[in-house]
Amino acid sequence: MARKVLISDKIEEVCPAALREAGIACDLKPGLPPEELLAAIPEYDGLIVRSATKVTAQVLEKGRAGKLRIVGRAGAGVDNIDVEAAGRLGVKVVNTPGLNSNAVAELTVAFAFMLARNLALADSTLKAGRWEKKSLSGFELSGKTFGLVGFGHVGRLVCAKAKGLGMRVLACDPLVPAEEARAAGAEPVSLEELWKEADFISLHLPKNKDTLNLVDARVLASFKPTACLINCARGGLVDEAALFEALSRKSIAGAAFDVFAAEPPLGSPLLDLPNFIAAPHLGASTLEAQLGVARKSAELLAEFFRAQG
C-alpha cells in the first residue's frame, strides 16, 4: 500500500530522502498556515513536525477522519502535539529523544562558562568601545558545584562534562535510583539541598503541571547569592517575573536561558538585564543534532508503516 507523509516544518534533506528510499511519498511544506494544514492533513498517512507546527486536537481529528495514523516529532519533546487527543483518536505519536542531547548539554556548559567569565558583557562592552577588564573579573568552574534538576539523557551528559572540568555534581531526579546517579558521577540529593548548595543550577525537566514555575520566588530565595541558573530545557519551568526581581536585586548572580515561557520573548524585561544571557532556542541547533533527528524521524515512520503492512 502506498503511503504518503507531510513534513510541515523545516528539516534536513536526509529526512525526505530516507522516506523516499523506503518507498514512502512525501511532501515538504514548511511554514504551512494552520488553515492549510487542516485542509491538507486528511490525505496523508503520516505527519512529521519540528517545533513550529502545532498539532492540535482539530488537526488530529481532521487527519484521523482521513488517512492519518502517525505523527513524528523530530526532537525530544512533544509539547506542540496534543498527545491526549492523539491517544483518544488512535494516532501514534513518536519522537527522537537523545539525539539532540549532546547539543543541549554542550550549550548548558557553554552558558556556565559565559556566566563564570562574564563573556557576554565582555563582548558587548568592548564592541561599544569600553575596556572594562577590572570590572569583568570572573571565576573558574573547577572546584565549583553543578546542580542538575533532572538526570536523564542531557543531565548525564552535562554531569560527565562538568566532572571533566573538575566540578562537583549534584543531581535530583526521583525517577533515577541513587546508586545509578552515583555510578554516573553525581551525588543524589534532595531539591532543597541542591537549591542551597549549587553554584550552577541547571534544569533538565519536561514541562507539566508539576514542573510549571518550579523555580519561583521562594526557591530563588534559597539560592546562594553567587549562584547562577541555567535553563536549556523548557520555557515555563521558571517564574520569569520572580527571576527578574532576583537578578535585579542581585540576590542571585546570573542566569542564562535558551527557552522562555513565551517565544520569542519580545518585551521581556529579562532581556534588559546585564546579568542575564539569552539565546533563541538554540539547544538542538547543531548540524549533528539536526541530521540525527531528521534521519531518525524518517526511520520511525518507515518502521511503523512496515509493521502495518
Q: Select which of 168, 187, 281, 299 is catalytic.
A: 281
Is residue 12 among the annotated active site residues? no
Cα dihedral 146, 152, 156, 157 sign = negative
Is residue 263 among the annotated active site residues? yes
Is residue 61 among the annotated active site residues? no
Q: Select which of 64, 234, 240, 295 is catalytic.
A: 234
Per-residue DSSP letters for the chain?
Answer: ---EEEE-S---THHHHHHHHTT-EEEE-TT--HHHHHHHGGG-SEEEE-SSS-B-HHHHHHHHHTT--EEEESSS--TTB-HHHHHHHT-EEEE-TTTTHHHHHHHHHHHHHHHHHTHHHHHHHHHTT---TGGG----STT-EEEEE--SHHHHHHHHHHHHTT-EEEEE-TTS-HHHHHHTT-EE--HHHHHHH-SEEEE----STTTTT-B-HHHHHTS-TT-EEEE-S-TTSB-HHHHHHHHHHTSS-EEEES--SSSS-TT-GGGG-TTEEE-SS-TT-SHHHHHHHHHHHHHHHHHHHHHH-
Q: Select which of 132, 263, 288, 303 is catalytic.
A: 263
Q: Are 48 and 5 in contact (CB under 8 A)?
A: yes
The Cα–Cα gap between 49 and 30 comes to: 9
Which residues are catalytically annotated?
234, 263, 281
